[in-house]
Amino acid sequence: MQTHQDMEVKLSNGYGWKRCSLAQDRASHGCHIKKGFILLLTLTFLLSAINYFSDFSLKSTVPPHTLYKKVVNQIRSYYMVIELPSGRDNQTIFLAPAPAPKANQQVQQTATQMPTQTTDISLHYHIAHPSNYHFILDEPDKCKQNPFLVLMVPVAPNEVAARNAIRSTWGNESTVQGKAVITLFLVGLTGGSDSEKDQQQLEEESRQHRDLLQSNFVDSYFNLTIKTMVIMDWLATRCPQATFSMKVDSDMYLNLENLMTLLLAPDTPRQNYITGVVMRNRSVVRNKNSKWYVSEELYPEPNYPTYLLGMGYVFSNDLPEKIVEASKVIKAFNIEDAYVGACLKQLGVAPSSPPNPSQFKIYMGQYKREDFFGVITTILGSPQQLIDIWKDVKRPT
């Protein structure tokens, strides 16, 4: 599964909410916003205070080492404190950039607004909407050759082995059945004590392969909605000329020959089309101990709209721009694939079952070479398994 959320928040310097001036962190998320504040004095001060309440206990905060100087110098904005239950023992706190609206700019009322106390500061922010983020690493000219299919792979910054495994297998296929294909990886901000070193390595990897995109949200499991919306935004703004795109996870086996056969079939639509593993009538998880928990505040309906399982879904490339527009009026929540389903419902676009649903396998079970000849996607256990299976499937019979 995938996860996320979106919210418009009005911050005040009254009771319970403080403006935090940080040029040190950037990020991501919001599910349950708690009363509390983080006060940082200038760029040289660290996290000084967190006040919190309710029956949740905050057991972890973002360490100061997660901030690297280069991105800090680029962001320079106000931040708001967002707390998201992890569904495990701890709670994770993120800081999300909250740029103030420009003068005379109309702010769309798309989400719950915090009540205004005595305040002289009003900051509105759509957490998951991609316009709130910018690219640190970009490949704006990647689509100049008018690719037929663009493969977008969300991946964690430190998962170099996964990226290299894809580069040496299905990500290395640039032409399939006479159609141009490109593969790009999207990452967020690095974290941990070696974040500056990790960022330098990402930049070197980008120079070497020219297939990395990086946006300024904190890369985490709970920010997959942001990650997916940034993918949609890149496709809409950098690659609108592509015919099809696919969002495919980094642990997937992908058979491009079978996928291309599906896309080139005369009865496959080239507008308002999206297919994969179709999920229907799925209940919203209300158990707070589950990592898939979504509150009624974020999503009040008991069931999700029909959506495609996030491991890998393919869509006509007219949809990214439409989904981005729909996200302006759909309050985001922390289940990435279901959120895309909510945007599709807003658009009146129904996900399509593939002509042969068995080609989109979740798991294959015990490895049999012949099983991989017929699938389009399936989940694998490791980058090395992808390499081994790819070599075996591609060997001469």
In tens, the pLDDT along 151-198 reads 999 999 999 999 999 999 999 999 999 999 999 999 999 877 788 999
The whole-chain average pLDDT of the chain stands at: 76
DSSP state of 204: H
Percent of the chain whose predicted confidence (pLDDT) is above 90: 63
Q: Given the DSSP bridges, would you call strands 179-189 and 175-176 parallel, antiparallel or unpaired?
A: antiparallel
Dihedral angle computed from the Cα positions of residues 275, 276, 277 and 283, in that order, rounded to the nearest 10 degrees: -50
Global pTM value? 0.71
Q: Which residue from 23, 59, 53 is spatially nearest to 37, judged by alpha carbons?
A: 53
Determine whether domain 136-394 maps to CATH 3.90.550.50: yes
Query: Look-up: residue for tokens 């690297």?
Result: 68
Domain boundaries along the sequence of the chain: 136-394
What pLDDT does residue 127 have?
63
Say how far apart CA 94 and CA 213 lie, in whole Å. Answer: 21
Rg (the chain; Cα; Å)? 21
Contacts of 352 (CB under 8 A, 6+ apart): 269, 273, 274, 275, 278
Say how far apart CA 316 and CA 294 lie, in whole Å. Answer: 29
Dihedral angle computed from the Cα positions of residues 64, 68, 72 and 73, in that order, rounded to the nearest 10 degrees: 140
